[in-house]
Structures are given as C-alpha cells and as structure tokens.
Amino acid sequence: MNRIVAKRELAPKIKLIEVENAGIAAKSRPGQFVILHIGEKGERVPLTIAGANPAKGTIKLVFNEVGKSTQQLGTFDAGEEILGVAGPLGNPTVMENFGTVVCFGGGVMIGPLVYEVDAFRKVGNKVITVIGARMKELLICEEELRALSDEFYVCTDDGSEGHQGLDFLKEVFERGKVDRVLVMSVSTATLQAVSEITRPYGVKTIVSLTPLMLDGTGMCGCCRVSIGGQTKFACVDGPEFDGHEVDWELLESRKRMYSSEERISALSYKVFGKEFALLKETA
C-alpha cells in the first residue's frame, strides 16, 4: 500500500506522484485532501488530491518542494512506499450543473484543478479554465487543461506567457454570465484577489483554503479560519469556503506562524540530510 507507481517533474521543483491506495482512490472526490506521513519522525503533510483512478487504485498528488517535508517527499522514487496516507479528508467540492463555471488554478494547485475541471465538465457545466503562475516555466498541466476546457486562459505575474496579472479576468465576467467560480491556490493573495474581482458580479466564489493542519480530522483546531465572523475548522468544515466571507489577514497570519521553524527544519535537512533520520528516538 502507498507505493509510488509513477513520478514526474512538471516544472522546476513541482512534482507529480501517483500513489497506490485502492481505498482512497475509490472514495476520493475533487476538493478533498490526504495527509501523508512520510517517515516516523515526519510531519503530517496535507495535500489536495489531484486525481483518482478507482480502477487502477491510485491517486495523483502534485507538490512543490518548498519545505523540508516536500523536499524529502521529492526524493522518493517510483517503487518506494510512503509510510502512511490518510484520506480522503475534508468535504468534496459541491458538484452540480451550475451552468458556466470559472475554474481558477494558481501555481502548484493547478494540479488539483485538473480533477475539478474534469468533474465540472462531466456533470454538464461549461467550464472556463484560467491558470496562473509567477512565470512561464512554472505553469503546469497546460495542454491537459486546454483539452478539457470550453475556454482556456493563461496568466503570469511577469507576462512571460499569456496575460500579465489578473486584471484581464474582469473581461471574462463582462463577456457573459458566470454562475460559479472555484479558486485554488496556496497563495492567500491570489485567492483574495480573484474573490475581489468576482465580488461586484455577485458570483458565488468558492475558495480552497490551505491553512496549517495537524491531524486533519477535527481534533486540534490548528486549521481554524474565520468565515463570515465564525470560526470554522478547514479540515472538517472545509477546506472550501465562500471567498467573499474569508478573513484573509487572519488566514495568512496563521499560515506564517511557524515560518522560522520551517526555515530551521529545511536548513537542518540541507545540512544533515538523512543523518537526522538515523538519530535514535531519545524518548
């Protein structure tokens, strides 16, 4: 169980793995996440599911090697096993025929967006897909999404491919009626910016939030977010919420709570590498 059957680099530091877990593959729905436990001393790492193949019994995960745990996960080769994978956790995306749906994916979350676009199409929606990244080199899944979508747009922060910035999105909403928007990004700024663009149009805008998590089953409250003034746990009440109701400042502030420890962790991994893993548990 949890064997990596395929691994691919999609962009510098962005990797896709396909993991064998028949139970999760059978139950997984777009919008849900898994928690990986990659080693005995490891963290519990939440990752949004980027696809599932129930027949083959595998799920797809896309991750960006930014911190210690994702860097370590990046060293796993096809054939190796992940110690533990729990899921599918969180609530699935509400999947209905809304009419016209705009699906926005930023950076590494373009991976899970593929799963969503495919599902929205299958229930009969017209899907307008927009993907964005900092620069051309970091765009992923472009061809796959272009083929799946009714309309397809690309944007980059530096303008190296497609539109520069998010302003062009307004034109999409001006051009025709949009019934629903889904925004996936690990960047709070992006989620907020897209939600602000859609607000004047009164379109229900669903955002997938990625706060820090620990157990992912509603036990600890680490992932609490404020939605319309109410505290919610992203793991069991979310991870998707109404983007027009999110307290963005709090979300971003809580996400940065451990930034200094994250640096220490990444640095010790860089310096000591696998030797750390060999240290005996002292208690």
Cβ nearer to other proteins, comparing 164 with 253: 253
Neighbours of 3 (CB within 10 A): 15
**Hey, which residues between 86 and 115 contact other proteins (CB under 8 A)?**
86-89
Cβ nearer to other proteins, comparing 160 with 217: 217
CB of 257 vs other proteins, minimal distance in Å: 5
Binding span for other proteins by CB under 8 A among 10-18, 79-87, 147-155, 167-175: 79-87
Binding span for other proteins by CB under 8 A among 47-55, 83-91, 97-105, 123-131: 83-91
The Cα–Cα gap between 244 and 226 comes to 12
**Site membership for other proteins, residue 27 (CB under 8 A):** yes
Which of 68, 73, 115, 161 touches other proteins by CB under 8 A?
68
Q: Which tokens hold the place of 237?
A: 């009440």
The Cα–Cα gap between 142 and 114 comes to 10
The Cα–Cα gap between 128 and 116 comes to 12
Which of 136, 168, 222, 244 touches other proteins by CB under 8 A?
222
Which of 54, 123, 253, 273 touches other proteins by CB under 8 A?
253
Neighbours of 271 (CB within 10 A): 9
Kindly calculate the radius of gyration of the chain based on its CA atoms and give it in whole angstroms. Answer: 19
Which of 218, 228, 242, 270 touches other proteins by CB under 8 A?
218
**Hey, which residues between 133 and 192 contact other proteins (CB under 8 A)?**
none
**Site membership for other proteins, residue 228 (CB under 8 A):** no
Which ranges in the chain belong to alpha helices (H)? 22-27, 68-74, 110-122, 142-148, 169-175, 188-198, 234-237, 248-255, 259-272, 275-278
The Cα–Cα gap between 175 and 104 comes to 17
**Site membership for other proteins, residue 3 (CB under 8 A):** no
**Site membership for other proteins, residue 217 (CB under 8 A):** yes
Which of 47, 224, 234, 243 touches other proteins by CB under 8 A?
224
Task: Specify the pairing of strand 205-208 against strand 180-184.
Answer: parallel
**Site membership for other proteins, residue 250 (CB under 8 A):** yes
Q: Which tokens hold the place of 149?
A: 């979508």
Residue 185 · residue 191 · CB < 8 Å? yes
The Cα–Cα gap between 151 and 29 comes to 23
Cβ nearer to other proteins, comparing 154 with 214: 214
Task: Specify the pairing of strand 100-106 against strand 180-184.
Answer: parallel
> What is the size of the binding site for other proteins (CB under 8 A)?
44
**Site membership for other proteins, residue 214 (CB under 8 A):** yes
Per the document, the length of the chain is 283
Name the nearest CA neighbour of 51 among 85, 19, 84: 19
**Site membership for other proteins, residue 220 (CB under 8 A):** yes
Q: Which residues bind other proteins (CB under 8 A)?
A: 23-24, 27, 37, 41-44, 68-69, 83-89, 214-215, 217-222, 224, 226, 231, 236, 250, 253-254, 257-258, 261-262, 264-265, 268, 276, 279, 281-283
